Chain A
Amino acid sequence: MNLINIFVKAIFIENMIFAYFLGMCSYLAVSKTVKTAVGLGAAVIFVLGVTVPVNYLLENFVLKEGALAWLGASYAGIDLSFLSFIMFIAVVAAIVQLVEMVVEKFAPALYGALGIFLPLIAVNCSILGGALFMQERQYSNIAEATSFALGSGVGWFLAIVAIAAIREKIRYSHVPAPLRGLGITFIITGLMGIAFMAFMGIKI
């Protein structure tokens, strides 16, 4: 039950885009058509679902204070948490590279669809943000961390597909020239964010 709670909360209440603005850059840049938005969104779900559990293991068995206790009593007092930024980003970059190669080798069709988006994802804030939130919120086991990661990914997917669909339609509207493109996208995202605030009161 708790897992479903974390999943739903990550999609709606703690939405990566509307509540924390993570991954805004690619959200604004790759949301011109629904097709590419679906591709990038799927890639984000996938990469979040892989990197957050790996970073969770890294955090709990290497970096946290006392995490090295499994090596022996003399290592129990070591606190490596100052290394967490470097380790997390290295893990993300390496896994993205690895995923790219594996997908290219074993699923060429999927690679064709996701291919160009995968390298972009290494520097997508939502991936590193997922790892840092996981660290900050102290999830009690790896299943909770994974469910949080998948929920965040799905929330991001929903947000980018929705804005892409709106942008496709708004091409036919008469937007004031200086507001066209980026400006109106910002304001629409703001309005969508206000709509998403409606979920905030929900206690689950």
Chain B
Amino acid sequence: MSTEVGTMPEVKEASPLFGKKERLLITDPLNDNNPITVQVLGICSALAITVKMANALVMSISVLFVLVFGNMIISALRNTIPSRIRIIAQLVICAGLVTLVDIMLKAYVYDVSKQVGVYVGLIITNCIIMGRFEAFAMGNKVWPSALDGIGNTLGYAWILVVVAFFRELFGSGTLMGFRVIPESLYATSGGVYFNNNMMILPPMALVLVGIIIWIQRARNAKLIEQA
């Protein structure tokens, strides 16, 4: 990280690299301002690729790459992009980064790339990306924008990983592809256990996220919506 900082003319001694405000940029999206459960951004991909932990992790890493670099590019160009065409400019920058990610995934993790399928392309219209470009990067300097990208991706990633954990554990009895619930317990080999096939079906992801929202809002009454 330090090399990136060196190239930025905007950072002065007065604003420390990891002051209180900067730390808040990372920790706030983890809970009180979570992109999925509070800002309601990026739901589509969060639900569709959480059948397996490995897919969820690959998706999170892709989003991390696109969001951090996209935020930095947008933030560096923020004074030169005319505001009337900013949506198209943002979309093109984002599409370029996503194309890079897609080619990388095809080259190095082809199996996962096949399973994640169109959802990598859909990172372009993932509202997290556009939402953060528009709400943060257009009005802030490069370094805070990069931190904001990291924070929001982490907030997005933990929801993905938690949902994927439950869906993979109860749906297929494995975690990251390794068997957790032993074969001998299954009914097919004489035991009593069945996989909960419902967990693999798409609607259960919605219900799981609903439950996470419930727990989160029960712990933090500030977030409760007024009907």
Where the two chains meet, the residues of A that have a C-beta atom closer than 8 Å to any C-beta of B are: 18-25, 28-29, 82-86, 88-90, 93-94, 97, 119, 122-125, 127-129, 132-133, 136, 171, 175-187, 189-194, 197
Can you list 19 contacts pairing A with B, beta carbon distance less than 8 Å?
A24-B43, A24-B44, A28-B40, A82-B103, A85-B99, A86-B99, A90-B88, A122-B87, A125-B44, A125-B122, A125-B125, A129-B125, A179-B217, A180-B224, A182-B213, A182-B225, A190-B206, A193-B201, A194-B203
* Contact between chains at A85 and B218 (CB < 8 Å): no
* Contact between chains at A89 and B201 (CB < 8 Å): no
Minimum C-beta distance from A27 to chain B (A): 8
Quick one: given A179-B217, A186-B213, A190-B206, are A25 and B43 in contact (CB under 8 Å)? yes
* Contact between chains at A29 and B99 (CB < 8 Å): no
In the complex, which residue of chain B has the Cβ closest to the Cβ of A27?
B43
Which residue in A20, A128, A178 is a CB contact (below 8 Å) of B48?
A20
Secondary structure at the B interface, as helix, strand, loop or mixed, is helix
Judge if B28 is at the interface, Cβ distance under 8 Å. no
Which residue in B91, B205, B213 is a CB contact (below 8 Å) of A89?
B91
Chain A residues closer than 8 Å to B118, beta-carbon distance:
129, 132-133, 136
Quick one: given A127-B125, A180-B224, are A22 and B204 in contact (CB under 8 Å)? no
Give the distance in Å from the alpha carbon of A197 to the alpha carbon of B211 in the complex: 21
Give the distance in Å from the alpha carbon of A119 to the alpha carbon of B130 in the complex: 13
* Contact between chains at B96 and A181 (CB < 8 Å): no
Which residue in A22, A29, A186, A192 is a CB contact (below 8 Å) of B210?
A186
Minimum C-beta distance from A24 to chain B (A): 4
Minimum C-beta distance from B195 to chain A (A): 17
Which residue in B127, B130, B217 is a CB contact (below 8 Å) of A178?
B217
* Contact between chains at A128 and B87 (CB < 8 Å): no
Chain B residues closer than 8 Å to A184, beta-carbon distance:
210
* Contact between chains at B224 and A190 (CB < 8 Å): no
Give the distance in Å from the alpha carbon of A133 to the alpha carbon of B211 in the complex: 30
